[in-house]
A and B are shown apart, each in its own frame.
Chain A
Amino acid sequence: MSELLDPAVAERVLARALANGGRFAEVFAERRHGLSMSIDESRIEAVQSGAEQGAGVRVVEGGTTYFAHVDGLDPADLERAADEAAAALKGERSEPRGLTAVASTPLPIEQRPEDVPAERKAALLRELDERARGAGAEISQFTSSYAEARREVAVANSEGLLSGDDRTRTRIGAQAVARRGDTVETGAETLGAHRGFELLEDDPGLIAEQAAGKALTLLDAGPAPSGSMPVVVGGGFGGVLFHEMTGHGLEADHIHKQASVYVGRLGRQVAQPLLNAYDDGRLPNEWGSDAIDDEGTPTQKTQVIEDGRLVAYLYDHLSAERDGVASTGNGRRESFRHLPLPRMTNTYIAPGDATPEGMIAEVENGFYAVSFAGGQVEPATGDFVFGVSEGYLIEGGKVTRPCRGATLIGNCLEALMAIDAVGDDFFMKTGICGKGGQRVPVGTGQGHVRVGAMTVGGTEL
């Protein structure tokens, strides 16, 4: 941390940032490097190594944020950013407080990926390739990717805060294509964490078999049904449902702009009493976890739904200041080139007491969405969609045939209230969340969850 942002330099930069006034100034310094590669047609390719460093300086005055970012971390670079951020202000100089370093404890990394020879990473991808192709003769294509990224960050602000973090994330992904005659289907799986290469010690090849298995299963798929019906959503990445349906609408910037269906609903019942949900940036080594957020606030566990009642919004520094509350440690940014926004970390529905088998058995005719390709919401209207990557019909309380090409669509408030069963089989998965042009890693999680009625958009009318 001290190496990235020398306290004396930071104080000087903050003073320059406030040279033309401003009630708040901040400097965010970052050094990032990463390595990625993939295997395609059983050949290692797209080996790519990147290294960037730079800083962003913001000054806040009234309702306006002035922001400038530069490449490079020399004192002269930081000062240039400060001068540019301050250039559009016309007020009297204000004085930053002296800095007090706050120690943070970065998440433990056992085996630094950069210390592992690249050949071993390539060998890992070859193993995944063999495992996927061994899963069935109908696997016609397989691609897999490996990515490691380290972000060292330091942040200092005019309120005297100085903190830092050192984050390493590792992730592998697998995509299989299965072919039988003219029928082509795909399956995908990922494994990722805020961890080092130790993530891949157990059995990373499993995701290759899982991806291949999904593609093979779908070869027998029929068209997806259309219309409103009960939907049972699978665990793990099924949590993307809550992420889109509720999480985004709780981010305080949407609330302040009246651009969320959750405006004015704090303290009100928005779900059945069986529902409890959290945003937790401190889950050990989870994909969306960090020691501090990108404004230096320690991450925390925030309960957002308690027994079906909405109990909290998610705040960054500025939105918290506006509501006179403390930041919930959700101020995140993609890089030093971006302004922080209120963002989710790891968001999940806490385990309930239903079993997956039990909640499926109660459905006469419905849809079982095991995994998703992703989702999207318009927080202002609450309209959402989710692309289902693996789905099945439920007929007479039993899972019957696989379906291809389904999307779930609905409105947040109705769908959240319609969750009538929460499973006890909780686990987390990784996602990449986009908002305002910025992508950040997020965790999503839940056990199986049943939504009483939701529109399934297939082709079978």
Chain B
Amino acid sequence: MTELSATAGRAVEAALAAGAGAAEAYVSHEGGREIRVHGGEVESLTAAAQSGVGVRAWIGGRVGYAYGTDLSASGVAAIAARAAEAAAVADEDEFAAPAEPTTIEALPGLSDPSVGSWGTAEAAELALTVERTALAHDARVAGVEQVVYADSSDRVAISSSAGVAGEYEASSCFAYLQAMAEGEGARETGLGFGLARGPAGLDPEAIGAEGAERAVAMIGAAKPASRSCPVVLDPTVAASFAGLIGGALGAAAVQRGRSPFADRLDEELAAEALVLHDDGRDPAGAASAPFDAEGVPRRRTALIEGGRLRAYLYDTYSANRGGAASTGNASRQGYRSQPVVAASNLVVGTGTETLAELLARAGEGIFVTDVAGLHSGVNPVTGVFSVGASGRMIRAGEPAEPVREFTIAGDLLSLLRSVEAAGAESRWVPFGGSVRTPPLLVGALAVSGS
């Protein structure tokens, strides 16, 4: 048994000794680095190491949580005792229980050795290449606000008094930049990014070029007139909306009447063109793992298919409550957070048309390449949204002049019904969680501008 699993086991025993009837411990160790580059120089270089434990304790149907960084025997015992104390404060909930142990299949492909083998100078050079490429890509690129490169190697172990035991290792890596272009008396920005399991999987030239192209494309952007029109959502934008939909399909929100999808299982609520899966086992997806945050195997779940709502996402608690089985969607952001139900990787189904064909089908409309204000402009309970947007007009089926400073508004259910086509090519996007999506053609959305 590794040290991590041993620590998790000790934490479980300590919680039981402190009066818990059942307990679960999640221990993680993360080692990583972050490199920020600006003006041809390394601006900052961060070496990060952190370890911690999070303990859930049950006293009957009362559950409490505690976490901490002190992994010594006495430290772990103190954390476990605090979890039991916390449980004593909570109210009884008949559905609260630890996950039942099931066979966990290994999931290869989560670690890329290049995270460990690339030296800092090599990784810094990758970030510098991103910046250089963006600056050289177009004379109108006036600067790069920042290039950020980060990678990490994480180990996770889980153990519970119910018999759950598992451990895995995963690496991750990303780079992004914010390029700035100047023209027509204004400054525009453009984001370029790449995601992989290790630096060897990143293409710095492509990342730099994307940022430059997005910034330059916005030069001369003006406010469009208010209208209702067809809209093509770029994958970065489609991902944000997929994330909102995936969030609202979590059984916790549904069961508590705080989701626009409550009481709609099997209902025909989406256009045929919109297919959505949750896939926690695709090694390319950042959220993939052999098991979820409470030790239940990750899996693939069809959410919207054939125009119908096929399933909600469950963790153990919401599954107990809903008379369903967990879909392996307990999620946590490290040891500091107790598990909650959430999408793993959302995968939007592809269609057959290229982006150019989607624009041609839209005819007269707007190609939305960026949205802003999702955290404040979307009501997750009602699904009503109004978010800031920028992009390009679509005229006679072709991308035309850039537009900015407008909003697109509607509600998630109407949006699902008005998706007319999905593009043939999809990409992984780190917005809305971890999402793989093609561009989407939406029949009509309200656009507010001048």
A and B are partners in one complex rather than unrelated chains: yes
Could you list which residues of chain A lie within 8 angstroms of chain B, going by C-beta atoms?
37, 40-41, 43-54, 62-72, 84-85, 87-88, 118-119, 121-122, 140-141, 177, 179, 184-186, 224, 226-228, 257-259, 261, 337, 339, 372-376, 378, 380-381, 383-387, 404-407, 409-411, 455-459, 461
User: Using Cβ atoms and an 8 Å threshold, which residues of chain A touch B449?
Assistant: 227, 455
How many angstroms from the CA of A406 to the CA of B386 in the assembled complex?
6
- Contact yes or no, A387 B386, CB < 8 A: yes
User: Using Cβ atoms and an 8 Å threshold, which residues of chain B touch A409?
Assistant: 373, 388, 405-407, 448
Instruction: Bits for B29-48, please: 1 = Cβ < 8 Å to A, else 0.
Output: 00000000011011111111
- The answer to whether residues A52 and B47 also contact, given A47-B87, A119-B89, A457-B388 and a CB cut-off of 8 A, is no
Residue of A nearest to B338 (CB): A48
Residue from A52, A226, A386 whose CB has the most chain B CB atoms within 10 Å: A226
* SS of A interface (majority): strand
A173 to chain B, nearest CB (A): 15
A-facing residues in B371-403 (Cβ within 8 Å):
372-373, 375-379, 381-382, 384-388, 390
- Contact yes or no, A140 B377, CB < 8 A: no
How many angstroms from the CA of A428 to the CA of B338 in the assembled complex?
32
Known contacts A40-B256, A44-B91, A405-B384, then 20 further A-B pairs from the complex at CB < 8 Å, ordered by chain A residue: A43-B91, A44-B90, A47-B87, A48-B65, A49-B82, A49-B85, A53-B70, A62-B41, A71-B50, A71-B52, A88-B45, A118-B85, A118-B86, A186-B379, A257-B145, A257-B146, A378-B372, A381-B189, A381-B404, A385-B388
Residue from B41, B43, B79, B91 whose CB has the most chain A CB atoms within 10 Å: B91
A28 to chain B, nearest CB (A): 13
Q: Does B283 contact A (CB under 8 A)?
A: no
Q: Does B362 contact A (CB under 8 A)?
A: no
Residue from A122, A228, A380, A411 whose CB has the most chain B CB atoms within 10 Å: A380
- The answer to whether residues A383 and B44 also contact, given A52-B69, A455-B450 and a CB cut-off of 8 A, is no
A-facing residues in B215-241 (Cβ within 8 Å):
223, 226-228
- Contact yes or no, B387 A385, CB < 8 A: yes
Residue from A43, A118, A407 whose CB has the most chain B CB atoms within 10 Å: A407
- Contact yes or no, A376 B372, CB < 8 A: yes
Residue of A nearest to B65 (CB): A48
How many angstroms from the CA of A378 to the CA of B52 in the assembled complex?
35
Residue from B93, B226, B256, B378 whose CB has the most chain A CB atoms within 10 Å: B226
Checking B82, B377, B405, B411 against A387 with a beta-carbon cut-off of 8 angstroms, the contacting residue is B377
- Contact yes or no, B41 A64, CB < 8 A: yes
Number of contacting residues on B, CB 8 A?
A: 79
Give 28 pairs: A residue, B residue, CB < 8 Å, sorted on A.
A40-B256, A43-B90, A43-B93, A45-B93, A49-B65, A50-B66, A51-B68, A52-B52, A52-B68, A63-B41, A64-B44, A69-B50, A118-B89, A121-B89, A141-B258, A184-B381, A226-B448, A259-B143, A374-B376, A376-B372, A383-B405, A386-B373, A404-B384, A407-B373, A409-B406, A455-B223, A457-B387, A461-B227
User: Using Cβ atoms and an 8 Å threshold, which residues of chain B touch A141?
Assistant: 256-258
- The answer to whether residues A47 and B409 also contact, given A380-B187, A381-B187, A458-B448 and a CB cut-off of 8 A, is no
Q: Does B180 contact A (CB under 8 A)?
A: yes
A41 to chain B, nearest CB (A): 7
A177 to chain B, nearest CB (A): 6
How many angstroms from the CA of A45 to the CA of B120 in the assembled complex?
44
Q: Does B316 contact A (CB under 8 A)?
A: no
B82 to chain A, nearest CB (A): 5
- Contact yes or no, A177 B405, CB < 8 A: no
B4 to chain A, nearest CB (A): 14
How many angstroms from the CA of A378 to the CA of B390 in the assembled complex?
12
- Contact yes or no, B90 A387, CB < 8 A: no
- The answer to whether residues A380 and B386 also contact, given A45-B90, A141-B257 and a CB cut-off of 8 A, is no
Checking B68, B189, B372, B379 against A50 with a beta-carbon cut-off of 8 angstroms, the contacting residue is B68
- Contact yes or no, A63 B89, CB < 8 A: no
Checking A37, A41, A71, A407 against B407 with a beta-carbon cut-off of 8 angstroms, the contacting residue is A407
Checking B69, B384, B410 against A54 with a beta-carbon cut-off of 8 angstroms, the contacting residue is B69
How many angstroms from the CA of A257 to the CA of B177 in the assembled complex?
13
User: Using Cβ atoms and an 8 Å threshold, which residues of chain B touch A376?
Assistant: 372-373, 375-376, 388
How many angstroms from the CA of A70 to the CA of B377 in the assembled complex?
37
Q: Does B428 contact A (CB under 8 A)?
A: no
Q: Does B186 contact A (CB under 8 A)?
A: yes
- Contact yes or no, A140 B64, CB < 8 A: no
- Contact yes or no, B372 A461, CB < 8 A: no
- Contact yes or no, A50 B386, CB < 8 A: no
User: Using Cβ atoms and an 8 Å threshold, which residues of chain A touch B291?
Assistant: none
- Contact yes or no, A46 B187, CB < 8 A: no
User: Using Cβ atoms and an 8 Å threshold, which residues of chain B touch A140?
Assistant: 257
A392 to chain B, nearest CB (A): 16
- Contact yes or no, B189 A68, CB < 8 A: no
- Contact yes or no, B180 A259, CB < 8 A: yes
- Contact yes or no, B86 A47, CB < 8 A: yes
Checking A51, A186, A380, A406 against B382 with a beta-carbon cut-off of 8 angstroms, the contacting residue is A186
Checking B42, B45, B405 against A455 with a beta-carbon cut-off of 8 angstroms, the contacting residue is B405
User: Using Cβ atoms and an 8 Å threshold, which residues of chain B touch A121?
Assistant: 89
Residue of A nearest to B75 (CB): A51
- Contact yes or no, A375 B43, CB < 8 A: no
- Contact yes or no, B47 A84, CB < 8 A: yes
User: Using Cβ atoms and an 8 Å threshold, which residues of chain A touch B202?
Assistant: none
User: Using Cβ atoms and an 8 Å threshold, which residues of chain B touch A119?
Assistant: 89
A286 to chain B, nearest CB (A): 22
User: Using Cβ atoms and an 8 Å threshold, which residues of chain A touch B45?
Assistant: 64-67, 88
- Contact yes or no, B381 A383, CB < 8 A: no
A423 to chain B, nearest CB (A): 23
B134 to chain A, nearest CB (A): 14
Checking A339, A381, A406, A461 against B44 with a beta-carbon cut-off of 8 angstroms, the contacting residue is A339
User: Using Cβ atoms and an 8 Å threshold, which residues of chain A touch B223?
Assistant: 455
User: Using Cβ atoms and an 8 Å threshold, which residues of chain B touch A71?
Assistant: 49-52, 69-70
Checking B42, B70, B87 against A64 with a beta-carbon cut-off of 8 angstroms, the contacting residue is B42
